[in-house]
Amino acid sequence: MKQLFTKDTQAIFWNNNKTAIQRMLDYDYTIKRETPSVAAIVAPTAGAKFEKFFYGPDEIMIPLYKCTADAKKDHANADVLLNFASFRTAYDVTMEAVELGGFSSIMVTAEGIPERLARKMNNTARKAGVTVIGPATVGAISPGAFKIANVGGTIENIVNSKLHRCGSCGLVTRSGGLFNELSNIIAINADGIAEGVAIGGDRFVGSVFIDNMLRMEKNPDVKYMVLLGEVGGTEEYKIIEAIKAGQITKPVIAWCIGTIAKHFSTGVQFGHAGASANADAETAAAKNKAMAEAGIYVPASFNDLPAKINEVYEKLKAEGTITEIAEPEMNVCPKVRRSKQFICTISDDRGDEATYAGFPISSVATPDTGKGIGDVVSLLWFKKQYPKWATDFIETVMKTVADHGPAVSGAHNAKVTARAGKSVVESLVTGLLTIGPRFGGAIDGAAEYFKYADDNGLTPAEFLNHMKKEGVPIPGIGHRIKSLKNPDLRVKGLMDYAAANFPATPLLDYARTVEQLTTSKKENLILNVDGTIGILMVDMWRALGYTEDEINEFISSGTLNAFFIVGRSIGFIGHILDEKRLAMPMYRHPMDDILYDVQKAEEI
């Protein structure tokens, strides 16, 4: 790996840390990334499906997922996991991500992961070829391409530290706070950094100094490196060995903080879990001396580090290794931004012509396009272009359910309201309000229960027993008038269409076997039109490639009933207009059709 991140890198963010995510997106907008760096958020306890964030002056929606597996499945290109879980959860989150595969790097921000687990986590990731940044880190940055969470601070600080574009220095530190300070020092005394990593302050971290510096050695943008080590550990000696072996040839400037430790009589931990010397070789003074002897540029003190950086930078610039860097154009994030109250993902009325799911209305509305109402429904309801066999089926369903005579509850209500002198809209609403579990709802119920039986491998007999135990009549089975001897031609038409045009009808085939059992008991317990529609809709969605979870969501959200609502509205309006055309008077129900059983009220 020559570069940790590029301008195309995208991450999955574990834990909905809104401030950190917003800072990443502000950085993306500032450097003019084409795509946001955060592809998805994993928030196991979230009830919403997305979170809104600002992207410059506008807002974008980032999807929320309950688990990493689902987020990775939908965003396979996101190869970075930003693990913001607590120290109690961070180990499990990282191990799951490594096992899933597809991640090139994982950042772990939690501090205090038990050392035994940290060693196991880091070893497992290393064997899988995954770069772990942390634990206990603020992250890393490839200026002008991608930055992790809060690294670099605010946008103002990022620009002042020249982290908005690629510089010449490769920076590796343990400390996150000093990472930001050094970025600023390098910006003042040189031309900024090309790549920077804060490896983390815990005793056992994933990628160590040598891992990152060997990568930076291969990165053509990195012309020299700055290493900020600290008291404790022996990782700096690996850099010395790599220089001696010729693995690192670029100039290295280094300093180990904690030289004051020699003035204490006993071992002292300086902030980080790993910042404690357990042997003379682990002291800051010993490591600084050894690095200087190996040819590394080591200043006399931390205060002299800026001058040493400027010295090396000017030397490389004079040699022609470093050239002037052109300042790129940047976007400026507005100081004041207002969140939108409504969201629309299906249509857009801005511009010269309104669109349905991205398609101009004229491309689907005029007769010469060859498109019908089914195409419009597929775009506006499902945001997809369905094939002709599916859109024709949708239209067939709507035509089939358009009307079932004046006696049904919805039509009756619409007619009564129209005769009261109400408008078409008011009359239509009274009819629509009757649609529910007992009128039209059998479409939803049939899809739900038959799909449940099929998903769980129930035999027809087991399905009937299940419904009996539930105390629920089987939705979609039974008709007051039609029977085996007097079949419903609407059902036959739908089944014939499916047989001729659907790729497969497994749920309908299953329902037909259930029908054989129910009609053996009573011949009018046939698969009715509502049941046929609901079952075939499931077969249609399966054939179109939807997942079972997506289909279940369609059913639970009332999508199937929506087909009945749109289709039956045509019939309701017909009855309403019929009443008005005939100038029918106010309706009063005949008294002889009412059973009166009114008892004298008891006095309390």
Look up 272 and say whether it is catalytic.
Answer: yes
List the structure tokens of 426. Answer: 């008011």
Name which of 255, 262, 203, 207 is nearest 232 in CA terms.
203
Residue where the block lists tokens 């649609």: 435
Q: At what angle do helices 529-543 and 388-401 cross, to 10 degrees?
A: 160
Token digits of residue 213: 């510096």
Q: Which residues contact 409 (CB under 8 A, 6 or more apart)?
A: 434, 439
- Cα separation of the two ends of the chain: 88
Please, are residues 170 and 226 in contact by the beta-carbon 8 Å criterion?
yes
Kindly calculate the radius of gyration of the chain based on its CA atoms and give it in whole angstroms: 35
The one catalytic residue among 75, 164, 272, 575:
272
* Burial of 124 per CB tally in 10 Å (0-12, 13-18, 19+): middle
Paired residues of 436 in beta bridges: 439, 440
Cα distance between residue 378 and residue 384, in whole Å: 6
> Is it true that the peptide bond before 135 is cis, omega within 30 degrees of 0?
yes
Strands 50-55, 38-42: pairing kind: unpaired
**Angstrom distance (rounded) from CA 440 to CA 434:** 9
Q: Which helix (H) or strand (E) holds 261?
A: none
CA distance 313 to 306: 11
Decide if 4 contacts 215 (C-beta within 8 A): yes
Per residue in 425-455, is it b (16+ CB within 10 Å) or e — as a string? eebbebbbebbeeebbbbbbbbbbbbbebbe
Q: C-alpha 91: how far from its chain's center?
A: 22
Backbone angles phi, psi at 141, to 5 degrees: -155, 140
Using an 8 Å Cβ cutoff, are 40 and 71 in contact?
A: yes
β-pairing, 169-173 vs 252-257, is unpaired
Backbone CA torsion sign across 418, 421, 424, 425: negative
Kindly list the catalytic residues. Answer: 272
